[in-house]
Amino acid sequence: MTSPQRPRKVPLEKLHGLELPAAADMHVHLREGAMTELVVPTIRRGGVNTVFVMPNLVPPITTVKHCLAYRETLESLEPNVTFLMSLYLHPNISPETVIEAKRAGIAGIKSYPHGVTTHSDHGVMSYEHFYPVFEEMERQDMVLNLHGELPPSAGKDITVLNAEEAFLPTLLDLHQRFPKLRIILEHCTSAAAIEAVKSCGPTVAATITAHHLFLIVDDWAGDPHAFCKPVAKLPSDRRALLKTAVSGDSKFFFGTDSAPHRAETKRADRVAAGVFTQPHAVGFVIDALEQGVEMGVIRAADVTKEKLENFLSGFGRSFYKVEDTRKERIVLSKPSDAVENLLRSADGSVEVVPFRRAKMTWGVSWR
């Protein structure tokens, strides 16, 4: 006779029924075509109504016209989400492009070092060429979004495990040269990155993903659906991220870096880098914080309504100077459902495997 399963312990049960402002996810990949049609409707499922959209399409978004056309497509699929748009830092980007982008309401320009991640073939080889662009971005008060890794071609024994830390002197140099330029170090994965951001002035901030609050190197080394760039690092780095997420430090806020890939590319000889978290964006953060409590890294008392509101919504909106005009609210519910094993487009042409498939997760509903 099979004994009944014990109910899952819920260390943060106090959060059940908690009402929060809708989340602002300040780093998402929404792709193109059938993948976009599959992914965009999952944004609100995750408790999010504002997103900052990455520009690394094929070809990359390097013109204002392309950017606005993409935003129109996204808004047609989900009119109840605010899409903050970006351009891809590229030799085609000039100071005049920056002025045009600002007038069009584009929020930032994203830098990808050449060859470090998905669709970074047109990425930056040297930042010096873009100094006039950064000067104009300062004047126009636009955000520079940095994928903070050095490519292997930079030498110096660069690997996926130290590429982020090796990039940090570049972050500090850019901040010193352009102290009024708002800079975001995207998807921090290391204690070193957190300390570097803390050492900078108020114009430098960073995003933290949900999946990096869960993962260490051992996890993605055995699971292609947990493999992303930058990769998760050491247990000490994960502990630093968990502590930072509930620190109340306004320099750090939520950005999932949710990056869907076709399921077959996660089984290929060369695995695509990206983790798909969008449908459970807020729930995964609560799950990770629960694990942090269970591990003794943070205390349940550290996970307060105020800190969750700020990390998930307030700090990011404030840094981007974006008002929450929708004033929507979400309600947390303790785990009762498992993450789906697979998401499939209506015509069956696209399949995506989500992060933490088949695992129980916190739920989100709209008030």
DSSP strand pairing (204-208 vs 252-254): parallel
Torsional sign, CA 309, 23, 336, 259? negative
In what helix (H) or strand (E) does residue 201 lie, and over which residues does it extend? none
In what helix (H) or strand (E) does residue 155 lie, and over which residues does it extend? none
Indicate the pLDDT class of residue 4, thresholds 50, 70 and 90. Answer: very low
Q: How many angstroms separate the CA atoms of 348 and 328, rounded?
A: 33
Q: What average pLDDT score do residues 97-108 get?
A: 98
Please report the pLDDT score of residue 118 as a whole number: 57
Q: What average pLDDT score do residues 70-76 get?
A: 98
Indicate the pLDDT class of residue 3, thresholds 50, 70 and 90. Answer: very low
DSSP strand pairing (143-147 vs 182-186): parallel
pLDDT in tens, 32-65: 999 999 999 999 999 999 999 999 999 999 999 9
Q: Whose CA is closest to 88, among 51, 39, 121? A: 121
pLDDT in tens, 217-273: 999 988 999 999 999 999 999 999 999 999 999 999 999 999 999 999 988 778 899
Indicate the pLDDT class of residue 7, thresholds 50, 70 and 90. Answer: low
Q: What average pLDDT score do residues 19-32 get?
A: 98
* Alpha carbon distances (Å) from 101 to 36, 46, 97, 112, 180: 23, 29, 6, 19, 18
Indicate the pLDDT class of residue 156, thresholds 50, 70 and 90. Answer: confident
pLDDT in tens, 303-348: 999 999 999 999 999 999 999 999 999 999 999 889 999 999 989 9
Q: Are 193 and 148 in contact (CB under 8 A)?
A: yes
Identity of the amino acid at 267: R
Please report the pLDDT score of residue 5 as a whole number: 43
Identity of the amino acid at 12: L
pLDDT beyond 70 at 119: no
Q: What average pLDDT score do residues 111-120 get?
A: 68
Q: What average pLDDT score do residues 106-117 get?
A: 84
Q: Are 110 and 55 in contact (CB under 8 A)?
A: yes
Average predicted confidence (pLDDT) for the chain: 93
pLDDT beyond 70 at 2: no
Please report the pLDDT score of residue 336 as a whole number: 87
The residues pairing with 78 across neighbouring beta strands, listed in sequence order, are none
Please report the pLDDT score of residue 151 as a whole number: 82
The residues pairing with 258 across neighbouring beta strands, listed in sequence order, are 28, 275
Q: What average pLDDT score do residues 74-88 get?
A: 98
First vs last Cα of the chain: how many Å apart? Answer: 42
Angle 326-332-335 from CA coordinates, rounded to 5°: 145
Indicate the pLDDT class of residue 123, thresholds 50, 70 and 90. Answer: low
